[in-house]
């Protein structure tokens, strides 16, 4: 287990961006970024994003342009009491669950490859750890992104066994110690 300050370097935005909760009024902007970030058979639907915004709002954060206020990327997840990451566990939000399943880490195409995604992920994990409820963070990623998530402190647990889209997913895990 790691404390947020042990696992994360300084949380300095790589661009003039602010990190804060995403409101339901930005659903269409969030969906546009999601749809542009994943193949059609992997992207969350507008309805799924709306459900996450309504049911799991404390776990839906975004990067906002400091001058225009426009949404430039987001990280969202839902909680479960299950230690296993299954499609069922990811399809609902259990507010009292201590396991957070990250669904999306996505950045507007014009802001990619500039450190925004890594900054958002580090900021998100710091927010989650500071809240003190979550003890484990799980996510699925493509095998080529394992090193990206490992740099944020996640460990690879191998093939997830989850079928979502055409290609396999790797299960990644991060244990949090919040005190």
Q: What are the beta bridge partners of residue 20?
A: 62
Per-residue pLDDT, 163 = 63
Per-residue pLDDT, 63 = 96
pLDDT tens digits for 87-117?
A: 777 788 999 999 999 999 999 999 999 999 9
pLDDT tens digits for 67-76?
A: 999 999 999 9
Q: What is the pTM of this model?
A: 0.89
- Of 88, 77, 92, the C-alpha closest to 172 is 77
Would you say residue 178 has pLDDT above 70? no
Instruction: Give the whole-angstrom CA distance, residue 179 versus residue 167.
Output: 38
Alpha carbon of residue 54 to chain centroid: 16
pLDDT tens digits for 125-165?
A: 999 999 999 999 999 998 899 999 999 999 999 777 776 66
Encoded tokens for 45:
């639907």
Please report, for residues 22, 69, 84, 170, the alpha-carbon distance to residue 34 in angstroms, rounded to integers and kept in the order given.
Answer: 14, 18, 25, 20
């Amino acid at each position: 287990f790691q404390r947020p300050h042990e696992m994360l370097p300084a949380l300095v935005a790589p661009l003039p961006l602010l990190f804060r909760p995403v409101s339901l009024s930005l659903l269409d902007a969030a969906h546009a970024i999601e749809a542009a970030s994943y193949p059609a058979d992997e992207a969350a639907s507008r309805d799924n994003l709306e459900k996450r915004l309504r049911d799991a709002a404390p776990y839906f954060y975004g990067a906002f342009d400091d001058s225009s206020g426009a949404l430039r990327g987001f990280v969202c997840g839902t909680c479960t009491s299950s230690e296993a990451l299954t499609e069922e566990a990811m399809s609902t939000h259990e507010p009292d669950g201590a396991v957070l399943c990250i669904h999306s880490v996505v950045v507007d195409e014009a802001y990619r490859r500039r450190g925004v995604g890594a900054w958002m992920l580090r900021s998100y994990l710091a927010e989650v750890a500071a809240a003190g409820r979550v003890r484990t963070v799980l996510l699925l990623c493509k095998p080529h992104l394992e090193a990206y998530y490992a740099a944020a402190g996640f460990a690879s647990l191998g093939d997830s066994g989850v079928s979502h889209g055409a290609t396999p997913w790797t299960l990644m895990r991060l244990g949090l110690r919040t005190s």
